[in-house]
Amino acid sequence: VQLAYLDPGSGSVIATAIVGGAAAAGVALRSARAKVGGMFSRNKGSAEPATDDATDSSEASSPADVDS
């Protein structure tokens, strides 16, 4: 992924939301449910799988709570 200097990177923006812990991850999840879902390429235009992706993310983040 080639990203410009002052572009924070959309994936990184979501990642930093998740790094913020449970509350922040909750917001990320909520925004995904509110159909930020369109963000995910694999699921463009489909609400449900988009939510799945966001759920994957928050699942992935919970074990990491232990180690960060």
Partner 1 sequence: MAEATTEPASFRDPDTAVFYANGGVFRGLSERAASDWERVKATAFFARLMKEGAIIATEEVAADDEKAPLSPRGSTWSVVLRHERVPVVSYPYEWPFAMLREAAASHLDVLLAALDDNMSMKDGTAYNVQFFGSRPVFVDIGSFEPATGPWPGYRQLCQTMLFPLMVQAHLGVPFQPLLRGSVDGLSASDVTGMFSGLAKLRRGVLKNVTLHSMLERRVTSSSEDVKKKLTKAGYNVELAKAAARNLRKLVGRLEVGKRDSTWSDYRDTCSYSDAEALAKQRFVGEALASLGGGTVVDLGANDGAYSLLAAQHADYVVAVDGDEAVVDQLYRRLRSEGREDILPLVVNLADPSPALGWRNRERAAFSDRVRPDAVLALALVHHLAIGANIPLPEVVDWLVSFGGPLVVEFVDVDDPMAKRLLANKPSGLFDDYQRDAFEALLHKRCRVERSETLSGGTRTLYLAVPH
- Which residues are at the interface with partner 1 (CB under 8 A)? 1, 3, 5-21, 23-24, 27-28, 30-31, 34, 36, 38-42, 44, 53, 57, 60-61, 63-64, 67-68
43 touches 37 (CB < 8 A): yes
Q: How far is the CB of 38 from partner 1 (least distance, A)?
A: 6
Handedness of CA 46, 47, 49, 54 (dihedral sign): positive
Q: How far is the CB of 63 from partner 1 (least distance, A)?
A: 6
DSSP state of 7: -
